[in-house]
Amino acid sequence: MPDSPAGPPAPPIPLAELLGREELGLRRIAGPDHAELLWVHTSEMADPYPYLLGGELLLTAGVQLADPDTYVARIVQAGAAALGFGVAPVHDTVPAALVEACDRHGLPLLEVPPETRFAAIARAVWRLMAEARHRELRRVTRAQQALATAAARPDPVPAVLRQLAVQLEGRVALLTADGGVLHAAGGRTAPDVQTALARLARVVAPAASPGRKPSPSSAAETRGGTHLFAYALGGGQGLALALATPRRDVGDHTVAGIAVVLLSLLTAPHQGADAAGRSAALVRLLLGAAPEDVAPLLGNGDSWSVVHARRADGSPADALNAGALGAALGSALSDVDRATVRILLPGPHRAVPPQPGWTLGVSEPAPVTALPDADAQAARALGHAEATRTPLSTHRPGTGFTALIPHAEAEAHARALLAPLTGPLAETLRCWLSLHGSWDRTAVALKVHRNTVRQRIARCAALLDVDLDDMDVRTELWFALRSRA
């Protein structure tokens, strides 16, 4: 059989669609009822094998049909999709031997009535292909818009993967060079399919090593009727997009290519002067430099704000999500610890906007030497936001009466007043007072059971020997907690 050429830029046409054209009067009289047509070819040669490319609807009037079995065997060997036999002027009916041969070799046989011209069949096929091409272009366009919208979400990488799984109706995953799964979406796959996808990922995105040969940008195989593909992400990141789909349509490669471009941009590390500055700052810190000496390498400005963030739906965060959130807030300085993302915003204080899909806590601006305090402020603000079910909470510095008392005196009084309390007890009391004595909201903010909050507050009242229902007591303790913080 000749080498299979690249198919035309249109989806194949199901044989049933052509048979559905009533004006042609075609009738299947032998062979299976399913086939896909790539084009139409007319030939009256005794052996058309050398001129077939595969996937054709071969049309003939049987001018040189001497041995039907050999004839059918040869066109099946050439990859023809179906055979159309024109009745008249050579044959009054379709030869019975041809019908038997097509049934034996599994080739669909169509009876073409005398009034239907072969050119009309070809024109109908091209028209069906044009309609299919138009449908596929619209599908690809819709997929492109959906993927671009997903890339703008707060969790762009998982969102793009989820949308790609919907568009291709399969399983998609972002894999590392060693086959590790960073993110995945879509239905589950068998263990052997997962193993095969990991192997394909190692082919297109192998681990870096000296003298390594260039790897292909994509790889594919079929396993148990499932089509497997892997695409390397750009930038030499050692990441691959892996796909497992039940079928492979013409536009799927284009849709996957769009996803590869988006994921390459979303996962690419920051480059240039900013990255050099961060690297230099890290090296100096590791070598013992003071934070205030390193801060100028991380950005301009003398003040910094700390942002703590968690996913609003409670799902875990990762480095990719943290980087995307940091970029949305205008900073490349981000970190993730378990479910909490921390972002450092350099420069003059500016309002931090809410981010869809996230709950944020923001500290007040602070010099680099006070960043640990700002980090604690952001953590408390995040707890307050979660407890009050608001998307954003910002720590507010002390004003009003608290500003009238010298800070040193206020802090000394606070330490003496709160000395009996341990750190967890003082933090529970502070949170409980900030939430107007709500047990449930305090439990949410501190991520403990409401009974634990009750026990801690009762312990605070006992250690301080005060009545926490007294507003004067609450007010003094609140000022003390704010001063000590």
Residue type, 324: A
DSSP state of 299: -
Cβ neighbours for 161, distance < 8 A, ≥ 6 positions apart: 172, 173, 174, 183, 184, 185, 259, 263
Q: Cα separations (Å) of 49 from 85, 114, 347, 421?
A: 17, 26, 74, 92
pLDDT higher than threshold 60 for residue 1: no
Q: pLDDT at position 307, please?
A: 92
The more confident residue out of 276 and 121 is 121
pLDDT tens for 354-413 read 888 889 999 888 887 788 888 888 888 888 888 888 899 888 765 555 555 566 666 777
SS3 454: helix
- Rounded to an integer, what distance in angstroms lies between the CA atom of residue 459 and that of residue 18? 82
State the pLDDT at residue 324. 76
Q: Which of 153-157, 230-234, 367-371 has the highest mean pLDDT?
A: 230-234
Considering only 82-86, 193-197, 284-288, which range has the smallest mean pLDDT?
284-288
Fold of 400-484: Arc Repressor Mutant, subunit A (1.10.10)
- Kindly tell me if the per-residue pLDDT of 109 is higher than 90: yes
Over 90: is that where the pLDDT of 98 sits? yes
Q: Is the dihedral of CA 14, 19, 23, 29 positive or negative?
A: positive
pLDDT of residue 401: 55
The mean pLDDT value for 26-38 works out to 93
Q: How confident is the model at residue 257 (pLDDT cuts 50, 70, 90)?
A: confident
C-beta pairs of 183-190 under 8 Å, 24+ apart in sequence: 183/157, 183/158, 183/318, 183/320, 185/158, 185/161, 186/162, 186/244, 189/226, 189/244, 190/224
| Statement: residue 115 has pLDDT above 60 | yes
Tokens describing residue 155: 């969790």
In this prediction, residue 7 carries a pLDDT of: 43
| Residue labelled with tokens 């001497």 | 66
Which tokens hold the place of 482?
């704010």
Distance separating alpha carbons of residues 434 and 446, to the nearest angstrom: 12
Over residues 423-469, the pLDDT tens digits come to: 888 888 888 888 888 888 888 888 889 899 899 989 988 888 888 88
Query: Which amino acid appears at position 483 of this protein?
Result: S
Task: Tell me the fold of 13-128.
Answer: 3.40.1390
Quote the percentage of the chain above a pLDDT of 90.
28
pLDDT, mean over the chain: 83
CATH 2.40.50.140 fits 152-267, yes or no: no
The residue ranges of DSSP E strands in 76-193, in sequence order, are: 82-86, 109-112, 171-176, 181-185
pLDDT at 408 (0 to 100): 67
